[in-house]
Structure 1
Amino acid sequence: MKTLLVVLVVLAIVGIGTVQVLAQKRERNAAVHYPPQGTLIDVDGVAVHVEQMGKGPDLVLIHGASGNTRDFTFAFADLLKDRYRITILDRPGLGWSDRAGPQYERIWTNAHEDPITQARLLRAATQKLGVENPIVLGHSFGGIVALAWGVEFDDLAGIVSVAGVANPWPGTLDWTYTVGGTAWGGALVIPLLSAFVPQTYVDTIVAGIFEPQKAPAGYLEHVGSAMTLRRNTMRANTRQVNWLRPHVVDLSARYNAITEPVEIVHGDADTIVPLDVHSIKLPDQIAGANLTVLHGVGHMPHHTHASDVIAAIDRVATRAGLR
């Protein structure tokens, strides 16, 4: 019996060591091949990764779940930089931004940055760069952060929500969030996923996000799955998504506080953040909000139907008197 126990302990130690080695290898790969492309701004001791380009009225871009600034620098930002000064930010814990505080960095916890906490941090980073009266665009999870910015502050010109989270949803999330977003899941399951998830699984997930359209050639190589599969990034992402719904309930009751122009762009074939759950209600919740429904379009219209998203940005700029 003692021999068996010793064998099991040894196997457990070897297994934990193997997981750590493989996870660290992916994290080193991310650091080598996908270093920060922008600047790390210190916001009260929290590093926020920011990229800026272009000239014109200020436009802030906020990415979705599992994403980073590279989602926008793949192609979308280049289409706008001749007419807007663009500021792209990594949300806390994703890309190269730190978590919003030490309480979120612990392994055995489900502490997470809610949308208002994220909006405050990102706003503070943009202010350090001299951003004034910006249009704030949020994609997917970034949509609820943009709306939180509008609810909490009145120093923005307008909001553009692109396939954005906006209203409470029925049912449960995928198991990777419901398990990975817990304290024990973050500590025990996330390292396993980080170490062993194959590239084929990542390819399938990305394809599903773009459906029914296809991801543009070179997109995944530019964004970098190694960035998403880092342990700390996965913990941040799964916690933020898993515990998001109560915050959406609270925020959605406050949308009438938003007085700035709001444009919404959403595909009716989006199965990730469904139109009929999230955006279809916004024109009744925010005075003057305008909804553009893209028929047959999935979750990534800023890549597959960029002209429609750009038109929405331009409408906000016109409505806000920036053009």
Structure 2
Amino acid sequence: MKLTLLLLTAAALAALTLWKARVHEARAEAEWPPQGQFVTVEGTRVHAVVMGPGDAPDLVLIHGASGNTRDMTFDLAPALAGAFRVIVFDRPGLGHGERIGRGGATITQQAALLQQAAAKLGADRPVVLGHSYGGAVALAWAVTRPDALSALVSVAGAAKPWDSALPPLYKVLSHPVLGPLAAPVLTAWVPDSYVETAVSEIFAPQDPPEGYLSHVGTGLTLRRETLRENARQRAGLLAQIEALHTRYAEIEVPAEIVHGTADTTVGLSIHARPLAAEVPGATLTSLDGIGHMPHHAAMTAVIAAIHRAATRAGLHPRD
């Protein structure tokens, strides 16, 4: 009798958890719907937001881990849309982007997908900017598809191997057995405010700009498949960078590297400085006291780096 009661209670709790997870996901997708259009590349739908005049130089913006297009569309993309035709992508499996295959897309696979999506939108050789994890994708684009970009901008980008362990939550969510069990629990029971707190910590020592947390779509991050895909991507990142970083000397396009000295998420000395030393002609801009989100906390410096990269590539941003 006790065992039967226990099993019934467990089944009821599981059913409640799945119901709450579906409700949470539906609410998040209704509150933060796609902002742009969809491009299909080899059967995979890519979400893209396009801003700016069609005759301006093309600029692709790639967001970091757990993020989506809204990180870039909050202030950076609109600020650049007069000088460039800006294309902001959701990386596969995040935001409103469809995942590649069974998930865990590598940085090289993501670079290939986004490059082809950009080409379908008429951007054959854009300036490519990547932030954080997106910086690794931008580097993979520059290394593996060197004829398909004009210049590279890395903003707090992950570039070199590191020796810290994978955080426990990523270990659990990326696990083939534990992940499917843990994700619904998090989706159902973790409030959006938890993600908002985590995002605020990533900005440290700065604060998020006013209105950022309500714009960026924190609820999208807590969807079951998004949690798992982000974790799988993050779990594979170190090995992928280990395979890629020995090829940075092959990058021939102009490269601008922007990194905050107070960044404790992707360290300046581990990533940006060695990258600047290895990419021929790269320029490193160190931002004193700035944390992991320079494209918001020091947007003027990031915009200046983008303009320098474009000018070095022989492009002419509009006034």
Instruction: Pick closer, same or farther for the CA change 1:210–1:239 going to 2, 3 Å.
Output: same
* Deviation beyond 3 Å, 4+ runs, structure 1: none
Q: Describe the superposition over 1:89-112 as per-residue Cα deviations: whole angstroms up to 9, x where unpaired.
A: 0000001110112x32xxxxxxx1
> Which SS does the other structure have where 2:271 is aligned?
coil
> Which SS does the other structure have where 2:5 is aligned?
helix
Check whether the contact 2:62–2:89 (CA below 8 A) recurs between aligned residues. yes
| 1-structure distance, mates of 2:167, 2:301 | 30
TM-score normalized with structure 2 length: 0.96
Check whether the contact 2:106–2:233 (CA below 8 A) recurs between aligned residues. yes
| 1-structure distance, mates of 2:244, 2:307 | 26
1:173 deviates by 2.6
Check whether the contact 1:181–1:243 (CA below 8 A) recurs between aligned residues. no
1:5 deviates by 2.2
| 2-structure distance, mates of 1:243, 1:308 | 31
> Which SS does the other structure have where 1:88 is aligned?
strand
1:277 deviates by 1.2
| 2-structure distance, mates of 1:217, 1:151 | 37
> Which SS does the other structure have where 2:300 is aligned?
helix
Q: Describe the superposition over 1:265-292 as per-residue Cα deviations: whole angstroms up to 9, x where unpaired.
A: 0001011111111111012211111110
Higher helix share: 2
- 2:62 corresponds to: 62
- 1:109 corresponds to: none
- 2:44 corresponds to: 46
Q: Which runs of 5+ in 1 are unaligned?
A: 105-111
| 2-structure distance, mates of 1:192, 1:249 | 33
| 2-structure distance, mates of 1:294, 1:193 | 36
Query: Among residues 201, 204, 215, which one is paired with 1:222 in the alignment?
Result: 215
| 2-structure distance, mates of 1:22, 1:278 | 40
Which residues in structure 2 correspond to 1:148-297 (within 5 Å)? 148-154=140-146, 155-297=148-290
- 2:87 corresponds to: 87
| 1-structure distance, mates of 2:40, 2:271 | 34
Query: Among residues 13, 32, 35, which one is paired with 2:33 in the alignment?
Result: 35
Which residues in structure 2 correspond to 1:294-309 (within 5 Å)? 294-309=287-302
Query: Among residues 104, 107, 116, which one is paired with 1:115 in the alignment?
Result: 107
> Which SS does the other structure have where 1:28 is aligned?
helix
1:72 maps to a residue whose letter is M
- 2:9 corresponds to: 11
1:256 deviates by 1.4
1:153 maps to a residue whose letter is R
How many pairs were matched up?
313
| 2-structure distance, mates of 1:202, 1:119 | 27
- 1:131 corresponds to: 123
> Which SS does the other structure have where 2:152 is aligned?
strand
Q: Which runs of 5+ in 2 are unaligned?
A: none
1:19 deviates by 1.1
1:308 deviates by 0.3
> Which SS does the other structure have where 1:159 is aligned?
strand
Check whether the contact 2:192–2:219 (CA below 8 A) recurs between aligned residues. no
- 1:108 corresponds to: none
Q: Describe the superposition over 1:242-271 as per-residue Cα deviations: whole angstroms up to 9, x where unpaired.
A: 121000101101111111111000001011
1:185 deviates by 2.7
| 2-structure distance, mates of 1:118, 1:312 | 24
- 2:136 corresponds to: 144
| 1-structure distance, mates of 2:188, 2:179 | 13
- 1:98 corresponds to: 98
> Which SS does the other structure have where 1:280 is aligned?
helix
| 1-structure distance, mates of 2:193, 2:50 | 33
> Which SS does the other structure have where 2:125 is aligned?
coil
Check whether the contact 1:120–1:149 (CA below 8 A) recurs between aligned residues. yes
1:203 maps to a residue whose letter is E
Q: Describe the superposition over 1:178-213 as per-residue Cα deviations: whole angstroms up to 9, x where unpaired.
A: 211211232111111111113342232011110000
1:125 deviates by 0.8
1:300 maps to a residue whose letter is M
Q: Describe the superposition over 1:22-73 as per-residue Cα deviations: whole angstroms up to 9, x where unpaired.
A: 1111111122111111011111111100010102100000000011001111
Check whether the contact 1:43–1:125 (CA below 8 A) recurs between aligned residues. yes
